[in-house]
Structure 1
Amino acid sequence: MSKVLPVSVALVLSTIALLPVACSKHDDAEKKVKTQKSTNPLEVLSYAQGFQLGAQLPAEINTKQLAKGIEDGKSHKDPVYTEEEIKTAFTAYQKTIEQKSKALAEKNESFLATNGKKSDIKTTASGLQYKIVKEGTGKVATPTSTVKVNYEGKLVDGTVFDSTFARKEPAELPLGSTIPGWVEGLPLIKEGGSIMLYVPAKLGYGDRDVGNIPANSVLIFKVELLEVK
């Protein structure tokens, strides 16, 4: 049996790979017991490689099986599973992902349809929904502005995926580097104002997973525009 893993394994990893995103997961990690540091260069580099890989994997991945596969591959053992078994598993996994993605897309579309009917919600031509909580009196941001903001981002099920309020530290970032929903939404208020943004997936992260944000997710943001630079 070939000791080289089939292409389907690479496809699985590329299918489930996540793009890095600044989110509250970092803060949660800080609260946990830190790994004992080593001064051995190879141990440091090994940890860094493992950390980078781990950051790209979803919660569903069985890390014990992953570690077993790494050890077997490193030891040049024959794989436990045949190429056919791996291809079958890949097909089944893809089907599960597609079903979840479809169900989530339907749930989010339903949320937008219901939310858009509320009297205090406005919808732009792009599909962005918003509610101005406080208009503000200062400068108006443009796509080239750097903005200082407090915000909370959550999913339609109430899961908070990021919050500067929780970190008790505002964020400062170029508006043009953010998602399209922010680029369009923040100029709707002035410095000192606050707004609720209901961002369709196409104006957020689209059909890809990002951090702990599933693909096709509507993103709900509460944003306070503290300063425009």
Structure 2
Amino acid sequence: MRRSGQSHHEPDEEEFDTMRFLPRRALWRLCACITPLLALTAAAFAGPAALAQDNAPQLEETSIVKTPEQRGREYMAKNAEREGVVTTESGLQYEVLKSGDGETPGRRDQVSVHYRGTFIDGRVFDSSIERRQPAQFRVNGVIPGWTEALLQMRVGDRWRLVIPPQLAYGEAGAADIIGPNETLVFEVELLAIL
């Protein structure tokens, strides 16, 4: 109640709401953060049948989290269906993009290659092609998936490799660039045996 002679004072947004003992701005922020969390929690307990149709896509994106291994297995299963893709006993997949007529290297041979390495979503993590500098290394000095492929390639071949984690960098990943258990895709061209 207002006494006469006093002006009516409208509380600004920083004043405390006496009913809640928090600044109104803080209450709005709190509600904005909690509302989506409550919706996700309710959906988790209610099960998929209880999800509202218009909320389903948003909840699906946030509630279904696949591991790198799961995403890799799905990618490799789809890739295996493509024409020209060969899956070896070890799980390596390769596709011959261009056939060469040169020699095949041995395990201890030094080779020169051009390559582009990507994640299964297409993001490039390394590329000798973009650096315009072929890589040189010993065939048995690289990840097992590369070694297996190089031992079957001829000089002049260009292959697309899909390498599962156990033939790549496994649980350790590599240099804060490649996470644990990532399936990797490489386009490799064998330029020369040195």
Q: TM-score surpassing 0.5?
A: yes
The structure that is strand-richer by fraction is: 2
Alpha-carbon distance in 1 for matches of 2:112, 2:173:
26
Alpha-carbon distance in 2 for matches of 1:209, 1:176:
19
Is the 1:132–1:189 contact (alpha carbons within 8 Å) kept by the matching residues of 2?
A: no
Is the 2:105–2:150 contact (alpha carbons within 8 Å) kept by the matching residues of 1?
A: yes
Equivalent position to 2:93, from 129, 144, 162: 129
Is the 2:68–2:183 contact (alpha carbons within 8 Å) kept by the matching residues of 1?
A: no
Q: What are the ranges of 5 or more consecutive residues in structure 1 without an aligned counterpart?
A: 1-100
TM-score for both structures, normalised by structure 2? 0.64
Q: Counterparts of 1:104-119 in structure 2 under 5 Å? A: 104-119=68-83
- Aligned match of 2:172: 208
Alpha-carbon distance in 2 for matches of 1:102, 1:202:
18
Give 2:174's aligned amino acid.
V
The structure that is helix-richer by fraction is: 1
Is the 2:158–2:190 contact (alpha carbons within 8 Å) kept by the matching residues of 1?
A: yes
Corresponding position: 1:217 with 2:182 = yes
Give 2:181's aligned amino acid.
N
Other structure's SS at 1:226 match:
strand
Aligned residues: percent identity?
A: 36
Shift of 1:188: 2.1
Q: Residue deviations 1:90-118, cap 9 Å, x none? A: xxxxxxxxxxx962211111101111111
Shift of 1:187: 2.3
Q: What are the ranges of 5 or more consecutive residues in structure 2 without an aligned counterpart?
A: 1-64
Runs of 4 or more off by more than 3 Å in structure 1?
none
Which protein has the larger Cα radius of gyration, Structure 1 or Structure 2? Answer: 2
- Aligned match of 1:45: none
Give 2:166's aligned amino acid.
K
Give 1:222's aligned amino acid.
E
Q: Residue deviations 1:59-100, cap 9 Å, x none? A: xxxxxxxxxxxxxxxxxxxxxxxxxxxxxxxxxxxxxxxxxx
